[in-house]
Amino acid sequence: LDLMLRRLKTVAEDQAYLGVVVYLDQPELTLPQIDALARAFAQVRQAGKRVLTFAESYDLSSYLLASQADLILLQHKGSVELRGLAMEEVYLAGLLEKIGAKADLMQVGQFKGADEALTRTGPSEAWDSNINALLDDLYAQVVDRIAKGRGLTTQQVEDIIRDSWTMSDTDYLRRHVVDRLTDRDLVDVTEVEFGESFVWDDTMGQAEASGQEVDSPLALLRLLFQEPDVIRTRRDTLAVIHARGPVISGDSEWGGGLFGGEAIGSRTIAELLGEAREDDHIKGVILRIDSPGGSALASEMIWQAVRDLAEQKPVYASIDGLAASGGYYVASAADRIYAAPQSVVGSIGVVGGKIVLGSLYEKVGVHVHRRSRGPMADMFNSVEPFTPGQREALQAGMQRVYDQFLDRVAAGRGRRLTDLDAVAQGRIFTGRQAVDNGLADELGGLDEAVADLARRLGLEEGGYDVLHLPPPMSLGEFINSIFGVRSPVSSAALFKAQGLDALASEALGPQGWSATSQVLGGLMLLRREPVLTLMPYALIVR
C-alpha cells in the first residue's frame, strides 16, 4: 500500500505524467486502505490528471475504489459482482458444552460482548445493537462513496448492488456501472484519454527491488548472518512506530507470534518511544495502530511510555483498520488521533476469566490432582468454575482496570470528549462516528497525520525525513520468526505446523485471516493474564 501511495503522489506532482491506469486484479483491500487510495486518486485528479481503473471483474472492494476514478474500464464480457456487507459471528458455548468445557468469563461494560462468543449461543441485546449500529454506518459509507463517485443516488447504487449478479457487460455500461468496455491493451481508451504520443512508464507498476542479490550459497549465508543496519538519523525526522496485532507484555512478535501473526510488545514499543525521546533529530512521533487490544497491563505500560514522550515531543496516533479496547487505550495517550472513516474505534471495556475443562477431563479419562497453598492460589485451576469469593475478587479487579481505562481515556482526550459514559461500556464506532463523538480528532490516514505533524513543528516539505520503526529484520531474524524461535512454543506453532493457518487464510482470504488471527491471538492471552482489554470479534468485509 505504501508503495502504491508513493507512486500516486509522484503522478500527481510530476509534470511529466498525464495520469495513471490502475489494474485491479482482485486486490485484498480493507476499507481504510481503500480510503487511503481514494484520497491519493483525488490528489491526482486535483492536479488535473486522469485516473483510470481496469479489471476483468470487480467485487465490492475493488469497485468501491474504482468509483473514485475518472473512468471505470471493464474487460469485454467481464463481470461486476457486488454485494452488501455481511458478518458471521460464531458462538461456541454449545460446542464447549458438548466436549465438556465451559468458559467462566466476566466482563465490565454492558456493550462489550467480549465473553459472548464463548458463553452464549447467540448475541445479547446490547451487543446486537452495538454491532448493528457499526454495520449500518459502514454500509452507509460504502453506498454514499459509490453514489458520489459515480454521480448516482443511493437508491440507484442499492439497485445496482441487487441487480449486478444478473447483468451483462452491456447492462453495466447502460446503467453507468462502468464507463467503457475494452480489451486489456486499452489502446482504444488511452489514445482518446492521453493522445497518441504518450509513452507508458513500465517501471511504475513494478515492485521495488530489495537491493539484496542472492547469486550463490555464500551470498545467502552472508545475508543470513548479517546484522541489520543501525538506524541513524541525520536531520529533522518524524518517526512512525508501527503497532499491529494483539497487545502483549514483553517483546513484539513478527510472524512467529500468536497464531502466526504479529503482536505488539509493550517492552518493544516502550523502548522505541524511549529512543525517539533521546534522539534529538526526531522531532515528533506517529503511532500507526491496528490492534484489537489484549493485555490490560501491557496497554497501560505503552500508555505511560507515550505520555512520557509526549511531555517532550508531540505524539500523534494514526488508526489503520482497528484501534479497539487495548488498541484504543494506547491511542488515547496521543496528542491527536487520526482515523479512516471506516476504521473501528472504541470498545472501552474489560473481559476476564478462564476456560473450565473438568467435564472434558472426565470424558477422556484424565485425572487431575490439585495442590495449593495460600489464599487464591487455586483460583485459576482448569477443573472447576470460580467460587463466589473468587468471582467477586476477579470482578473487583476487572472493575479497577475498567476505571483505570476510563481515567486514561479522560486524561488523554480531555475536553474533546464531552460525554465519556456515552462512548464507554464496550461500545464500538466507525472512524467517522469517532470524530463526531470525540474519540478521534480528524478523518485521515498516515499521510495526513505526518503532514499535519510536520506543519505543527514548522517542518517544510522536503526538509525532513520519515523514519519507519521497528526497522526491517535481518534475514536471520526473519527465518527465526518463521520457525517460532522468537517466542516460546505455543498453540500457534502447532497451528502453523499443521498447515491450518494456510487453510484459514485460503478460506477467509489474507485480510480476513489477518483480522481473525489478531482476535484469536488476543484470546490466547487468557492463558497468561486473567484480565484483558480486547475486542471480541474480527470484522471481515468482502
Listed range (92-101, 151-160, 349-358, 490-499) with the worst mean pLDDT: 490-499
Contact of 281 with 233, CB cutoff 8 Å = yes
Contact of 464 with 455, CB cutoff 8 Å = no
In this prediction, residue 526 carries a pLDDT of 63
In this prediction, residue 509 carries a pLDDT of 54
Contact of 351 with 115, CB cutoff 8 Å = yes
In this prediction, residue 506 carries a pLDDT of 46
DSSP, res 425: T
pLDDT band at 491 (very low <50, low <70, confident <90, very high): very low
Our measurement of the distance from residue 104's CA atom to the centroid of its chain's CA atoms, rounded to an integer in Å, reads 29
Q: Interior CA angle at 413 toward 407 and 418, to 5°?
A: 90
pTM for the complete prediction? 0.82
The SS3 of residue 195 is: coil
Give strand pairing partners of 355.
103
In this prediction, residue 205 carries a pLDDT of 63
pLDDT band at 82 (very low <50, low <70, confident <90, very high): very high
In this prediction, residue 483 carries a pLDDT of 45
In this prediction, residue 227 carries a pLDDT of 55
The SS3 of residue 469 is: strand
pLDDT band at 191 (very low <50, low <70, confident <90, very high): confident
Question: What does the DSSP assignment read for 295-331?
Answer: EHHHHHHHHHHHHHHHTTS-EEEEEEEEEETHHHHHH
Q: What is the pLDDT of residues 60-69, one digit of tens each?
A: 999 999 999 9
In this prediction, residue 487 carries a pLDDT of 39
Q: What is the pLDDT of residues 230-280, one digit of tens each?
A: 567 899 999 999 999 889 888 887 654 444 458 899 999 999 999 999 999
Q: How big, in percent rounded to 5, are the helix, strand and coil portions of the chain?
A: 45, 20, 35
In this prediction, residue 93 carries a pLDDT of 87
Average pLDDT over the chain, rounded to an integer? 84
pLDDT for residue 411 is more than 50: yes
C-alpha cell at 223: 545475508
Q: What is the pLDDT of residues 6-26, one digit of tens each?
A: 899 999 999 999 999 999 988
In this prediction, residue 536 carries a pLDDT of 55
Cα separation, 243 vs 263, whole angstroms = 8
Q: What is the pLDDT of residues 360-398, one digit of tens each?
A: 888 888 888 888 877 888 888 889 999 999 999 999 999
**451-460: average pLDDT:** 96
Q: Assign residue 26 a region (left: φ > 0; alpha: ψ between -120 and 50; beta: otherwise).
A: left
Q: How many helices (H) and strands (E) does the chain have?
A: 22, 18
Separation of first and last alpha carbons in the chain: 18
pLDDT for residue 495 is more than 90: no
**430-446: average pLDDT:** 96
C-alpha cell at 75: 474487460
In this prediction, residue 479 carries a pLDDT of 47
Q: What size, in residues, is the chain? A: 542
